Structure 1
Amino acid sequence: MINFIICDDVKQYREMVEHIVVSYMMKNKLEYKTHVFKDYDSDFLKIVESKLSFKVYILDIETPTRSGIDIARLIRNKDVDSVLIFLTGHQELGHVVMKNDFLFLSYINKFDDCEKRLTKSLDKALQMFKIKSVIRFKDNGVVYTIPQDDILYITRDSVKRKCIIVTDYSEFHVGKNLAELEEEVNDNFVKTHRACLMNTKRILSFSKSQKEVVFDNGMTSDLISTRFDKELI
């Protein structure tokens, strides 16, 4: 799930930004949630501290009680993976953002084609998350996004001519072949069988004699061949 954390002290802009985000995500048919705040208060800071996945912060540079610059610094001290997008009605504050190494995605003037620029930034944010280890596929018209860290292994179903993505919480049947999925996954995945890719990040132990792996959630798999078992040693 992608989490959008929006903060602006002006109700008009909070509602505008949330509307843009909701419209964009509805078109993309992705699972998401918005978290909207009027100030950088204790509830906002709980979100910063939380383990929510795929955070996109859309931050007002100035609120009555706290600076978005200070908040961005706080976020980056705890989290280098989230996306930061700055909004402001004060273009002259741009140099303050630029001189800080926040690794932010964009700096948007609320009064300068805000909807178009924010939509483009959301495009980039989703692309970044795809690069950062997710698999996205469509099934029956619904687009699914699965964090690769959630995947235990991917195997081929020769009967249905599909691949099965096995996660902690479900199995997903994907209309792609194993070679295509091998191109999409990151370097944590290795081929352990001609019909299987395993996530080495999730493997707790491997028995070469029994040709079996135990994953960190207790699940096991014996989809290991002698030809490929060296990948696990």
Structure 2
Amino acid sequence: MINFIICDDDLKFRKKVETAVDKYMMKNHTEYKIYLFDDYDKSFLNIVKQKLPFKIYILDIEAPTMSGIDIARIIRNKDVDSALIFLTGHQELSQSVLKSEFVFISFINKFDEFEKRLTSSIDKAIQIFKQNPIMKFKDNGTQYSVAFNDILYITRDSVERKCIIVTDYAEFKVSKTFSELVSILNDNFVQTHRACYVNKKRVVCYNRSKKFIMFDNGVTIDLISSRFDKELV
């Protein structure tokens, strides 16, 4: 799932960006969602705070309450992995972006081959995302790609006979066997129970006596067995 967060105070241009994204993504047969904003307001900041997979921000340099550069700093403080694409109708503002300290995909002039440069930038962002380890699976007929870093743990539902992949933003029930899922996990995952593997990079607290694990987003689980907990001690 690719999440596009688009902000531009010009309604016509915002729709133009949305149309260009739709056109590109339809050709690539990749699941995506678009979030549209006309300013860097509270609702925009709420999206920044949300843990969503594969975020591509398309940001207007000039907005009513805040500059795109300032909002990019806020984004980077919370999220170093998302892609940033800047838009402006004023070429002279490009120097402000180029002098900034954060990594971004591109700076696009709204009036200079806009759609061509935008689709090229989106393609570059997706290629970068693909370099990160991901797990691909189907849930209710829909194909998903989830970054390993977004997975908290996987477990097995003995009633439904399905495996559950728990991430920051959703739980997915898949028909793969537990051993099949385990075979594609990377070295960040360790077994803590006969029916659970956790992402040790996301663990911030392990209480052996009370038998619980806390992840960096506050989620806790008690799927722990002394037989398997050695790598967490």
Common topology (TM > 0.5): yes
Give structure 2 stretches of 5+ with no counterpart.
none
Paired letter, 2:151: D
User: How far is 1:64 from its partner?
Assistant: 5.6
Paired letter, 1:153: I
- 1:104-151: CA deviation from partner (whole Å, max 9, x where unpaired): 121122233322332232233334445556423356763213354334
- 1:35-73: CA deviation from partner (whole Å, max 9, x where unpaired): 332x3344434444x324243221112346643223323
TM-score, with normalisation over the residues of structure 1?
0.68
1:171 matched to 2:173? The reply is yes
Within-5 A mapping of 1:212-231: 214-216=212-214, 217=219, 219-221=221-223, 230-231=230-231
Paired letter, 2:31: L
2:37 maps to: 36
Give structure 1 stretches of 5+ with no counterpart.
none
2:52 maps to: 53
TM-score, with normalisation over the residues of structure 2?
0.68
Over alpha carbons, which structure has the higher Rg? 1
1:91 matched to 2:91? The reply is yes
2:143 maps to: 143
Distance 2:154 2:197 in 1: 6
Q: Structure 2 vs 1, CA of residues 154 and 28 (structure 1 numbering), >3 Å: closer, same or farther?
A: farther
Instruction: Count residues with an aligned counterpart.
Output: 218
Within-5 A mapping of 1:64-213: 66-130=66-130, 134-138=134-138, 142-147=142-147, 148-153=149-154, 164-167=163-166, 169-174=171-176, 177=180, 181-183=184-186, 187=188, 189-190=189-190, 197-200=197-200, 201-202=202-203, 205=206
Q: Structure 2 vs 1, CA of residues 214 and 131 (structure 1 numbering), >3 Å: closer, same or farther?
A: farther
Contact 1:3 1:52 in 2 (8 A): no
User: How far is 1:154 from its partner?
Assistant: 6.2
Contact 2:83 2:125 in 1 (8 A): yes
Distance 1:85 1:65 in 2: 19
